[in-house]
Amino acid sequence: MAEDNVPPPTPQAAPVPQPTEEPKISIEDFAKVQMRVGQILAAEKVEGSRKLMKLKVDIGTEVRQVVAGIADAYDAASLLNKKVVLVANLKPAKLMGVESNGMIVAASIGGRPILATFTEDVPNGALLK
């Protein structure tokens, strides 16, 4: 009865999940992104879209038209005069036929955008570093 001397099978340990490492960029790559303080002067929903909002944003040296996917989280009136972070050196893009000349920075919590804003008065056009 050799089977009596066989040790029970060793339970297999569950694989330990390895943390996923996000790709790192250099300081030179980061320096290529030009973020500026912008003040929203006008806001309106993009016709035919549930999420898109067309904004006029004063970045100090000019007023830019920007399209942002924030209409389901913010109404136009609540955005007026809000200071936001704008990525100013993106190539223009058309969203639902409307040209966008920049991107508003926002966090996403459960799919809901939360705008990056300021707690202190910052001049329009100030460069973020």
CA distance 74 to 52: 10
Indicate if the pLDDT at residue 2 is higher than 80: no
The 10s digit of each residue's pLDDT in 36-49 is 999 999 999 999 99
**What is the radius of gyration, based on Cα positions, of the chain?**
24
Q: Is the pTM of this model over 0.85?
A: no
Q: Which fold has domain 37-123?
A: OB fold (Dihydrolipoamide Acetyltransferase, E2P) (2.40.50)
Contacts of 44 (CB under 8 A, 6+ apart): 53, 54, 76
Helix ranges, 10-94 (H): 27-31, 76-79
CA distance 67 to 19: 35
The 10s digit of each residue's pLDDT in 14-39 is 666 666 788 899 999 999 999 999 99
Indicate if the pLDDT at residue 6 is higher than 80: no
CA distance 99 to 102: 10
